[in-house]
Amino acid sequence: MTNEGDTTLTTRSDSRLRAEHLSIGYDDKSVIADLSVDVLDGRITAIVGPNACGKSTLLRGLARLLKPSGGQVILDGNDINGMHTKEVARRLGLLPQTSIAPEGISVADLVSRGRFPHQKVLRQWSTDDDAAVAYAMRATAVTELAGRLVDELSGGQRQRVWVAVVLAQQTPLVLLDEPTTFLDIAHQVELLDLFAKLNREDNRTVVAVLHDLNHACRYADQIIAMKSGHIVAQGDPSDVITEELVEAVYGLKCQIIDDPQTGTPLVVPRASPHVTARR
Amino acid sequence: MTAHAPATSPAAPTQATRSPTQRSRVLGLLVCAALLFATCLASLAIGTESVSLPTVFHALTDYHDVGDQWIVHDLRVPRTAVALLVGLALGLSGTLIQAVGRNPLADSEVLGINSGAALFVVCAISFLGLTGIWTYIWFAFAGALFAMVLVYLVGMTGRAPVTPVRVLLAGVAIAAVMDGIGFAVRLRNPRAFDNMRFWDAGALDGRSLEVAAAIAPFIAVGVALCVVVARSLNVTALGEELARSMGGNVARTQALSLVAVTLLAGAATAGAGPIGFVGLMVPHAVRRFTGPDWRWILAYATLAAPALLLAADVVGRVIIPPAELPAGIVTAFLGAPVLIWLIRKRGADRA
Amino acid sequence: MTITEKSRNTVDFGRRQLVVRVGGCSARASWRALAVVVALLAGAVVFAVLAIGIGKYTVSPSDVLGVLMGTNTSFDRVVVLEWRMPRMLMALLIGAALGVSGAIFQALTRNALGSPDIIGINSGAYTGALVVIAGIGGGYYAVATGALVGGLVTAVAVYALSYRNGLAGYRLIVVGIAVSAVLNSVNQWIVIKLDYHVAITAAVWQQGTLNGLTWSQVWPMTLCLFVVGAILVVMGPQLPVLQMGDDAAGALGVRPDRARLGYLVAGVGLVAVACAAAGPVSFVALAAPQLARRLTASPGVALVPAAAMGAVLLLVSDIVAQQAFPGTELPVGAVTVSLGGAYLIYLLVTQARQR
């Protein structure tokens, strides 16, 4: 945290990416206001909250897709909005919620576009590019699909291809905007396991907006719970996810038990009389 | 992943407005009727040579070839009659297209339907030497139908999602082809080119009662079809699957509407050349008073569209004396800003 | 099967690629795309050589080649180099410009039916030309300037009217349609007012014609293509990234609005100059990018194949326009309109097959 009167921005040694008094809004409507948060390096952070609480907005603000109306986003000690876009893209990757696969594009072609931040006019396909794309496709298990058209793939396969695009970017920080939408349960777990592996093996910092609380508890080292544009709680899952917090943020009465597999909190919604009456 | 959402209906109001009561709707209808009456009077009286209202009255009720009465009798009455019919036809065809096509940005001009009708008419005149409206009106119908089928096939089939803009683009492309070919045809026959210059701008000047009589029966059939289809429009506007589940016969509505638009747009173009934007503007203009009920929008359009065209024609007569600006040009100048305003208001390219 | 170090680090694109690495520089292209571009250009040369000899004064292809090599110094030289070659070159240059412009607009609007004409440039250029014709009755350069100014002013107006928190393809299209309609009315009005013979001349210009083009027009056109080409090269491969959606593009380091504006300026510049040089030639910009895409089987729209395709299309159209009816010469736009019609039919067929 910077002190009053301290005009130089220092980089905290464990937080390359942070928001300071960040406010973002559209058309006079404020979505998040005066929000400050540090993203812990080398950790998985999950942002959770009810619909329209501003979690996607926060992520997109961190990813520089949205311009703040107040405050700053700091990356490696510099204001992210003042940095060169390609430079940012070499350090920060984002998996957006909606992307468009151009018509008739093959998997390999699409993944190779993830190398854009590293390419120059005269350096369009270096050996590094080749290796990075090959690695990305291996990590997401889409190598056999390399020549197939993206249009022809299933939802799960397509999402893996988009993850490969982000991986090809080779960024130390990766932001994920609701990556598990459109996926069935097996693929959701597969995807989150992949990012857990990338975090452990390459020490990549991962920030993900997740709508499933139990996923967040299982995979995240740090949870940021938001409501109405403000951070309600922040910290280790077992500290943050309590029955009181879930009720306060989501309006849902629940019971919290320990996940039998991982020991992290598991949210079990209280059953309404109509449901228990069926048994 | 694609970014396009499945088609939803724009029939529901996008702002939270109090929906108009039955009483206010009827009131509005009477206001439209009054407007129509006023514009008719204006059309009969105003022009490069203005005629006094008593003279108009005399000319209509007890015609003697005295003073200025001939202007009313020989020039203005036919012109007003044609404008009434053409305006009616354009307004209704535009409303149908927007309702059935679920496309708030369309009318027969923008979708190339008028261009198709015009092309076939030009060919009939150039190659077959036909001159009477009784003959080339059939070509207008054929051309309108042809263009409509093309726009449907190019803009609404295939794998890409159907959005209003995609259909518009198809219409623009097809209109461009039709216009281009029509142009080339005209250049081949220089006399046709000379004669058709004026018709191309959408002119009501010089139309005889014969023209009105020729297009009237087809427009009447078109109007009748509108009445038949009106009730099912609200349901059709919800989208095919939902409409069918509610018991609406979507195919029947679409087929009848297709015939109606062919007759209406074809007759209008045959009568007065291609005139645009009337069909586009009127449904939007009246919706503020009618709410999203297509039956009421049709009813209002029946009165408001002719009034609009008459007003445009009158404006064209007085705006650059002593010359006259063709009505089609006036409607373009009026309609383009409306279209621009419409698109700036909408948030996204929703189907 | 052993996995070697090399194959672990090389991507199999499913289609053969040509990768060139020299020093610190590298480039990659699919063999098929390269082959198509080379074939198109070769085809253009062949058509040009064959067609350049046809006319009232015939020159056999071998004599034409002799002129090009410098071995033939007879009157053939004058016919080939001074009379006919500028026109052929202009057809290639203007066709390429239209092809690239069409590709840019289709990429920006994310729609295969997008074309520069939708933003009203052609209508605006016609207005500018008509104003000059009606007002001063000027010659080629006056009309060309009028067309250029008219087209550019229209493009700026459409851009300004459609800009609302950024540039969106669909808004550009609809505003373009509205502005075109207004300008078309103005044009119709002016045409009505013109003297009959002048009106016919204006109408012929409006179709687009390469008649009467000489070397003095070739150089400005080449220069313009060069400048725009340089801009496009400097902008790098941002267009393919833009096509992935604004979010993905932003994440990869492209500023979507700025990139779109840059490409829009390039696309407008190309078509405005093409329009000034030869009048608004229709449908090359619409058809060339998609036809090129089919042939090269490449994703999205690619600029270089579109340029090659556009060049060939316009050259062939011009040859047809000159030779189709012996004795008279059609404006090249009349031929491209038929091309447009054929292209639409082709679209219908392919779309019907997709169902």
Chains with ≥3 CB–CB distances under 8 Å to C = A, B
The ipTM value here is 0.84
The mean pLDDT value of chain B amounts to: 82
The nearest CA of chain B is from the CA of C148 a distance in Å of 21
Reported confidence tier of residue C38, pLDDT bands at 50, 70, 90? very high
Reported confidence tier of residue C43, pLDDT bands at 50, 70, 90? very high
So what's the pLDDT on residue C7?
Answer: 67
What is the spatial distance between Cα A169 and Cα A113, in angstroms, rounded to a whole number? 9
So what's the pLDDT on residue A1?
Answer: 40
**CB atoms C251 and A101 under 8 Å:** no
Candidate from C246, C254, C299 with C-beta closest to A85? C254
- High-pLDDT (> 90) share of chain C, %: 23
pLDDT single digits (tens) C227-256: 998 999 888 789 999 989 889 999 999 998
Contacts with B, A 84-123, CB within 8 Å: 98-101
Contact at 8 Å (CB) between A34 and A75?
A: no
Question: Is pLDDT at C352 greater than 80 in this prediction?
Answer: no
What is the spatial distance between Cα A37 and Cα C345, in angstroms, rounded to a whole number? 58
What is the spatial distance between Cα C217 and Cα C209, in angstroms, rounded to a whole number? 14
The nearest CA of chain B is from the CA of C77 a distance in Å of 35
pLDDT single digits (tens) B17-28: 556 688 888 888
**CB atoms B180 and C196 under 8 Å:** no
Reported confidence tier of residue B67, pLDDT bands at 50, 70, 90? confident
Question: Which long-range contacts (C-beta less than 8 Å, at least 24 apart) are formed by B70-78?
Answer: B71/B47, B72/B44, B72/B45, B75/B47, B76/B43, B76/B44, B76/B45, B76/B47, B76/B51, B77/B44, B77/B209, B78/B207, B78/B208, B78/B209, B78/B211, B78/B212
**CB atoms A130 and C244 under 8 Å:** no
Residues in A touching B1 (Cβ below 8 Å): 98-101, 155, 158-159, 162, 182
C34 part of a folded domain: no
Q: Residue A157 CB: number of other CB atoms within 10 A?
A: 17
**CB atoms B180 and C186 under 8 Å:** no
* Cβ-proximal residues to B13 (8 Å cutoff; 6+ apart), any chain: B19, B291, B292
**Local structure of residue A113 (DSSP, 8 states):** G
**CB atoms A146 and C14 under 8 Å:** yes
Nearest CA in chain A to B2: A100
Q: How many domains does chain C have?
A: 1
Strand A78-79 to A17-26 pairing: unpaired
* Cβ-proximal residues to B320 (8 Å cutoff; 6+ apart), any chain: none
In sequence order, the β-bridge partners of residue A39 are: A17
Closest by CA position to A169, among listed A140, A196, A190, A141: A140
C76 part of a folded domain: no
Its pTM stands at: 0.84
**CB atoms C15 and A106 under 8 Å:** yes
Residues in A touching B2 (Cβ below 8 Å): 100-101
Average pLDDT over residues C24-37: 88
Q: Which of A28, A109, A133 to substitute to test the interface with C, most C CBs within 10 Å?
A: A109
Please report the domains of chain B, with CATH numbers, ordered by start residue.
78-344 (1.10.3470.10)
C9 part of a folded domain: no
So what's the pLDDT on residue B222?
Answer: 94
So what's the pLDDT on residue B349?
Answer: 45
Q: How many CB pairs under 8 A join B and C?
A: 154
Range of the domain at C139: 95-350
Contacts with C, A 84-103, CB within 8 Å: 85-90, 93-103
C7 part of a folded domain: no
Contacts with B, A 139-168, CB within 8 Å: 155, 158-159, 162
So what's the pLDDT on residue B56?
Answer: 78
Contacts with C, A 167-196, CB within 8 Å: 169
- High-pLDDT (> 90) share of chain A, %: 47
Q: What are the distances in angstroms from CA C287 to CA B341, C26, C241?
A: 31, 31, 23
- Tell me the CATH number at C279: 1.10.3470.10
C320 part of a folded domain: yes
C61 part of a folded domain: no
Candidate from C10, C12, C233 with C-beta closest to A121? C233
Candidate from B110, B177, B193 with C-beta closest to C340? B177
Alpha helices in chain A (DSSP H): 55-62, 85-91, 107-112, 127-139, 155-168, 185-202, 213-219, 237-240, 243-250, 273-276
Chains with ≥3 CB–CB distances under 8 Å to A = B, C
